[in-house]
Structure 1
Amino acid sequence: MPRAARKAQMLAVAEEVFAERGYLAASMDEIAERVGVSKPMLYEYFGSKEGLLVGCIDKARTELREATEQAVIGAADSPESMLRLGVLAFFRFIAERRQSYGLLRHEAAVTVPSAVEEIEAIRRQQTDLMIGWMGMALPGADLLELEAAAEILVGSCERLAQWCERRPEVTPERATDLLMTAVWTGLSSRAGN
């Protein structure tokens, strides 16, 4: 199997095991067995169990960026639709990975220092995407205001995603509607809508 495909397989299995057992209870032996490789091979690819977890988070960050970019690029025809599509892509991404998202948010963020850095990198990535999209939609806008709005949006999305964990009946579409109702009024005044 090519190295990239093997690495992707290891990450997918590790994410499953971490989500099922929790980071602390997950074992490299079980992950290696499920993948069908030796434990030393896992260490060769990732260095440690922590390195494997960080690899899972990094993979999620890449996938989230791709999902949000694809949702917005070419499909958005106004600042509001740009924001709505990006937010909806986030909530769909979280809903599809509910168990893994819960693990990262609860356990890994507390027990693994390098995971905290990776999770913060996801927040910065999404904030930077929002700043870029709002900058295109609001040419000439004050950068400080764009940065603040992006931080507010990312924080709001994260908190609402946590609320959705407790309210599984709330769909990604409903969560998006709730967020847009709460934040679009202020942003639309800047967009001239």
Structure 2
Amino acid sequence: MAPTKIRKLAKPERRAQLIETAKEILRECGADALTLGHLAERAGVSKPIAYEHFGTREGLLIALSQEIEDRHTSKLQLALAGAPKELDAVADIISSVYIKCAVDSGEEWQAISGALRGNADMIATQQQQADDYVGMIQAALGPFAKIPAEDLRLRCTGIAGAAEAIGRELIRGRTSEAAASTNLAALIVDSVNA
């Protein structure tokens, strides 16, 4: 019997495959086990292919972080596109999407952040992600705010921090998904109405 020929993937497909494989390793073995060598072996590719896509282990972890953030952003944009023009509804959407994303990838995100604590590139990436998220929720909440834009931006920064803290509480098993979502939505409404 002739050996099966492995289909060569286009670069974007290969990157997506490597990201998915990296997430599996992260979930099953933790961040310490996630190396480019391990990733290449698990994905059935040569080490140079993994290095070509990510450069370093840190590059891989940052790519994973960005993939999680991109997924969250897409879900939030889609949900907000059909949102009723009411503060409570928008707050519920922002809250429920954030909490659902925390459930879906919170442990992965915590592992990635922990593995890259103090890494300058990760700090810059996280700051950009935070700024983008704050801008998105500021735009969504702006029509309901009766405060100056700079005050709203600061409050949205606080909302983002509260969302992260509530998400951590949920991941640690210290609250339910429903309670996390309800209380985050209440914080959002109170921040805009205050």
**Shorter chain as normaliser: what TM range?**
0.7 to 0.9
Deviations 1:14-59 (A, max 9, x none): 1222343333332222211221211110111111111111111111
Structure 1: where are the runs of 5+ without partners?
Answer: none
2:42 and 2:112 mapped to 1: Cα distance? 21
Task: Tell me: CA distance 1:45–1:185, structure 2 relative to 1, closer, same or farther (3 Å).
Answer: closer
Structure 1 residue 108 and structure 2 residue 109: aligned? no
Percent of pairs identical after alignment? 19
Task: Tell me: CA distance 1:18–1:118, structure 2 relative to 1, closer, same or farther (3 Å).
Answer: farther
Deviations 1:167-187 (A, max 9, x none): 26511x321101223442342
Match of 2:186 among 181, 184, 189: 181
Task: Kindly state the Cα deviation for residue 132 of structure 1 after the two structures are TM-superposed.
Answer: 0.9
Question: Who is 1:47 aligned against?
Answer: 55
Task: Tell me: CA distance 1:30–1:168, structure 2 relative to 1, closer, same or farther (3 Å).
Answer: farther
Q: How do residues 11-160 of structure 1 correspond to structure 2 at under 5 angstroms?
A: 11-105=19-113, 107-110=114-117, 112-138=119-145, 141-160=147-166
Find the residue that maps to 2:31 and give its secondary structure: coil
Question: Who is 2:17 aligned against?
Answer: 9
Structure 2: where are the runs of 5+ without partners?
Answer: 1-8
Q: Larger deviation: 49-58 or 18-27? A: 18-27
State the TM-score, normalized to the length of structure 1: 0.86
Question: Who is 2:5 aligned against?
Answer: none
Task: Tell me: CA distance 1:169–1:84, structure 2 relative to 1, closer, same or farther (3 Å).
Answer: same
1:69 and 1:141 mapped to 2: Cα distance? 24
1:153 and 1:135 mapped to 2: Cα distance? 14
CA contact (8 A) 1:19 1:103 kept: no
AA aligned opposite 1:179: L
Task: Kindly state the Cα deviation for residue 111 of structure 1 after the two structures are TM-superposed.
Answer: 5.4
AA aligned opposite 1:49: R
Question: Who is 2:4 aligned against?
Answer: none
1:115 and 1:97 mapped to 2: Cα distance? 17
Task: Tell me: CA distance 1:118–1:15, structure 2 relative to 1, closer, same or farther (3 Å).
Answer: farther
Q: Count residues with an aligned counterpart.
A: 186
CA contact (8 A) 1:109 1:119 kept: no
1:109 and 1:50 mapped to 2: Cα distance? 7
State the TM-score, normalized to the length of structure 2: 0.86
CA contact (8 A) 1:131 1:147 kept: yes
